[in-house]
Structure formats: structure tokens, C-alpha cells
Amino acid sequence: MLPAGVGPMAYIIAEPCIGTKDTACVDVCPVDCIHPAKGRTYDDGRPTFDEVPQLYIDPTECIDCGACVPVCPVTAIFPLDDLPEKWHAYVETNKNYVDGGRFQPGKYQKAST
């Protein structure tokens, strides 16, 4: 079972990214929603590239295009529906990075269809 309230998350970066942080995904992302980008600092105080073990996808910015998936050299990126069960904790990990460890569920309520 996936954690509750993760509906709007399209893609998740999982364990294989740890220690790899290749950044091909950052280069192909058309909306710059994969963080932290190399050399970028963030106003909200999030850790920068050198301070994190892996990369994260911001679900509020992601447009669900999938461009990042095939370029990952270690197959770390999965559509939410295809995320292997052993890595389900990475859903929370991705959200937590974006919110600086203070995950705000309301932020992920994309307008309903």
C-alpha cells in the first residue's frame, strides 16, 4: 500500500539515486522540477546539491512528462504506480525534501478534476 494522500505525485526518485546523483534528469526536465540542481541555492533554506544524498522531484511543479525516466543511468525514477514496493518510503522522502522536512499535505492538493 502506498501512503495516503500521494495522488498528485507523478514520479518518484528512489534508492538507486543515492550516491549517484547523475543529474541527467535535471538537464532534461522541461520545468526544472528536480532538486537540488547543481550550484543552485534556495531561498527557503533547503539543502543544496552537495548536502543531500539523492535528488528529489517537486510534485507541485512536475508536469508528468516522463522525460527524466529513460535518461537515469541507474533506473532510479519511477511513475508512482510502478514504484517497487520496497521503495515506497521514497514517496515521503521526495515530499519531505521539497517542504524542508515539514510536509504540508494541503500543498499537494492539486485542483480536483
Interface residues toward other proteins, by CB under 8 A: 24, 27-28, 30-31, 60-67, 70-71, 110-113
Between the CA of residue 107 and those of 39, 53, 78, 103, what are the distances in Å? 26, 24, 22, 8
Closest CB 78 distance from other proteins, rounded Å: 17
Which is nearer to other proteins, 53 or 66 (by Cβ)? 66
The residue among 24 and 89 lying less far from other proteins, judged by its C-beta, is: 24
Burial 16-35 (b: 16+ CB within 10 A, else e): bbeeebebebbeebeeebbb
75 close to 25: Cβ distance less than 8 angstroms: no
Closer of 87 and 108 to other proteins (Cβ): 108
Task: Name the minimum Å distance from CB 51 to other proteins.
Answer: 25
Output the smallest distance, CB 9 to other proteins, in A: 12
Rounded Cα–Cα distance for residues 65 and 44 (Å): 26
